[in-house]
Amino acid sequence: MIFNDAEKMSMKVKILIVDDDPDLTNLVRSILEAEDYMVYSAESGEEALGEVPKLRPDLIILDIILPGIDGYNICKTLKTDDHTSPIPIIILSIRSSVEDRIMGLNIGADDYITKPFDPGELAARVEAVLRGYGHSRLSGGERS
């Protein structure tokens, strides 16, 4: 089957980065765009909670330390809503204690990556989480 450019774009996996550090957001964006993902960003918890229902991302990469609503509460909110609970979440945070990682996983995050991180590992973990949800880089479509 042959797809035109607009069809290919609509099939790409959409990832939302939620982080208030523009340099980090740009770094993660460049890593993921190189892997052929469509990348969007939000700088605060409030902005993320507003964007998720409209964007319907296939994956969210979420910082913990954010202005306003922190990443733990965003994750909790998204995972307790029937419309957003199926969206996988990877926490990407400077908070690296075992307690922080356990808390993130216990509130519903699918993975927890600490900063600084290896770009190859980030890309591999994103792909692994997406595979677990029935997605690959060009699968798009509905969640199972």
Residues listed for the chain? 144
**Nearest to 90, CA basis, from 76, 111, 75:** 111
pLDDT tier for residue 23 given thresholds of 50, 70 and 90: very high
3-state class (DSSP) for residue 26: helix
**Count of domains forming the chain:** 1
- Following DSSP, what letter does each residue of 111-125 receive, concatenated? EEEESS--HHHHHHH
Please check whether residue 47 lies inside any domain of the structure: yes
The CATH number that applies at residue 125 is 3.40.50.2300
pLDDT tier for residue 135 given thresholds of 50, 70 and 90: confident
11 or 4, which is more confident: 11
- Give the residue carrying structure tokens 């909790």: 76
Beta carbons of 11 and 138 less than 8 angstroms apart: yes
Average pLDDT rounded to a whole number, residues 20-25:
97
Is the link from the previous residue into 22 a cis peptide, with omega within 30 of 0?
no
Condensed to tens digits (0 to 9), the pLDDT of residues 40-99 reads 999 999 999 999 999 999 999 999 999 999 999 999 999 999 999 999 999 999 999 999
Which pTM was predicted? 0.88
Please check whether residue 139 lies inside any domain of the structure: no
Please check whether residue 137 lies inside any domain of the structure: no
Residue 31: enclosing H or E segment and its boundaries?
A: helix 22-34
Please check whether residue 45 lies inside any domain of the structure: yes
Predicted local distance difference test score (pLDDT) of residue 77: 97
